[in-house]
Structure 1
Amino acid sequence: MTSSLWLAVLASGFIYGITPGPGVLAVFGIGAARGRRAGAGFLCGHLLGDVIWCSTALIAIVGAREFGSTAFNVLGLISGLYLFWLGLRAVRAKRSSVAEEGPARKPFAHGIFFGLTNPKAYPVAVATFTALLSGRAELLTWSMLPWLIALSFVGGALAYAILIGIVGAGHVRALYQRHQLLITRLCGVMFIGFAISALAHALPGLVGSNK
């Protein structure tokens, strides 16, 4: 495994974990209501869902690569279009649509349930990993899968460590709430950038295969 692939997988897990979404909004709400420990409990539970969804996404990506470049490019096209749609929605978001999750009595159990049942988790994981790994698709093999999963877990854990460090801090939460809409829109721009990257790698391959 090359260092560039190592960093791409690590970055994919980190970006997937730290990008504002339902889980991040939930942990800020829980942290504000019950403190940093409750927020950490929620994230530890949520991490189980992240590992499952990221592993499933990586299996799909490696499988598509093993079945041929066309399958991988089709996956990249679908993922890129979906990520572009998510980014466009975030860029066009209005303040009323950005909501916070309330406090949970059992943060750890709530985190597990939240992470496993989030309907956006799998497609976002596929789209994020495809966008960052598409340029290194030829390097992906089944034998690398355990390392890919482990690295994505480390990236997600690093993201959550940062979130735990800041959740519950009054001034941080106030700043986040004040600029929540702007942050959501900036993340939308980032999603669109990943989408363009995925499409830029997928479309030439698909066009070339039809010639």
Structure 2
Amino acid sequence: MLEPAMLIAALAAGVVYIVTPGPAVLALLGIGAEQGRRAGAAFLGGHLVGDLLWTFLALLAIIGARVIDPLVFDLLGIACGLYLFYLGLRAVLVRRTDTGALDSQVRHPLRRGMIFGVTNPKGYPVALAMFAALLANYGAALSWDSLPPLMLAAFLGFLLGDLILVWIVGLSGVRRLYRRYDVWIVRVTGLMFIGFALNALSSSAASLLRRP
């Protein structure tokens, strides 16, 4: 039977993983502040698919099932970097429409969140680092039998983290600030996306070049 402290550690790792600033949080701030909490929640609901995928792979690695060739993650890093660069470039070039709204409005937040979640460059490495750090004291107790309850605890942590983020982006002060400086916030966010993308591309390319 797993120790309660171990499950609490997994839940805490899930919360921290969600609220840690990164591409997804920046995207959520723009969607939620511009389109409201419902759109923000839809984005996070889609992103949850990626959160669960990367956490499952991270826990597999932590438990010891190193069956996935690093080449997979290097190639995925290239794809993720290119997608994030595309989003960043679109944000940098954002313009207002004739109605005064930004032309960067996300029409399908759920779909955008799902795509963003499975192509998020921080997904696997951050999940691996986060869960490895918080579960480091329980190495002897980790086994295949511990995987399902750990995933459940992480899932609950994700939901709690998502609730915190949805609450934040729906605050009137956050929305007023965004509406006042929306163009510049989107452009700066786009530059940060491009920075994340270049980092992912350079890391993956360097790893591929080192391969025999």
Give the alignment's TM-score, normalised by structure 2.
Answer: 0.63
Q: 1:172 to 1:117 in 2, by over 3 A?
A: same
Q: CA deviation at 1:27?
A: 0.6
Q: 1:38 to 1:14 in 2, by over 3 A?
A: same
Match of 1:144 among 128, 138, 146: 146
- C-alpha separation between the residues in 2 aligned to 1:41 and 1:8? 27
Residue of structure 2 equivalent to 1:109:
111
Report the RMSD for the aligned CA atoms in angstroms: 2.4
Say which SS state the counterpart of residue 124 (structure 1) adopts: helix
Q: CA deviation at 1:103?
A: 3.4
Counterpart amino acid of 2:137?
G
CA deviation vs aligned residue, 1:107-130 (integer Å, no higher than 9, x gap): 000000000011221011000111
Residues 33 and 170, structure 2, Cα contact 8 Å, conserved in 1: yes
Q: CA deviation at 1:174?
A: 6.1
Runs of 4+ in 1 over 4 A off after TM superposition: 99-102, 173-177
Give the alignment's TM-score, normalised by structure 1.
Answer: 0.63
Residues 34 and 175, structure 2, Cα contact 8 Å, conserved in 1: no
Runs of 5+ consecutive residues of structure 2 not aligned to the other structure: 67-90, 95-103, 186-212
CA deviation vs aligned residue, 1:47-84 (integer Å, no higher than 9, x gap): 111011111101110116xx9xxxxxxxxxxxxxxxxx
Is 1:63–2:74 an aligned residue pair?
no
- C-alpha separation between the residues in 2 aligned to 1:50 and 1:166? 20
CA deviation vs aligned residue, 1:167-198 (integer Å, no higher than 9, x gap): 13231356799xx9xxxxxxxxxxxxxxxxxx
Counterpart amino acid of 1:145?
L
Which residues in structure 2 correspond to 1:170-181 (within 5 Å)? 170-173=172-175
Counterpart amino acid of 1:171?
G
Which residues in structure 2 correspond to 1:54-133 (within 5 Å)? 54-63=55-64, 102-133=104-135
- C-alpha separation between the residues in 2 aligned to 1:173 and 1:142? 45
- C-alpha separation between the residues in 1 aligned to 2:132 and 2:171? 34
- C-alpha separation between the residues in 2 aligned to 1:15 and 1:142? 24
Residues 28 and 173, structure 1, Cα contact 8 Å, conserved in 2: no
Counterpart amino acid of 1:50?
D
Runs of 5+ consecutive residues of structure 1 not aligned to the other structure: 68-98, 181-211
Residue of structure 1 equivalent to 2:80:
none
Counterpart amino acid of 2:136?
S
Residues 22 and 122, structure 2, Cα contact 8 Å, conserved in 1: no
Residue of structure 1 equivalent to 2:203:
none
Residue of structure 2 equivalent to 1:51:
52
CA deviation vs aligned residue, 1:116-146 (integer Å, no higher than 9, x gap): 0112210110001111111111110101101
Residues 46 and 115, structure 1, Cα contact 8 Å, conserved in 2: yes
Instruction: Report the number of matched residues.
Output: 145
Residue of structure 2 equivalent to 1:13:
14
- C-alpha separation between the residues in 1 aligned to 2:175 and 2:54? 28
- C-alpha separation between the residues in 2 aligned to 1:16 and 1:171? 25
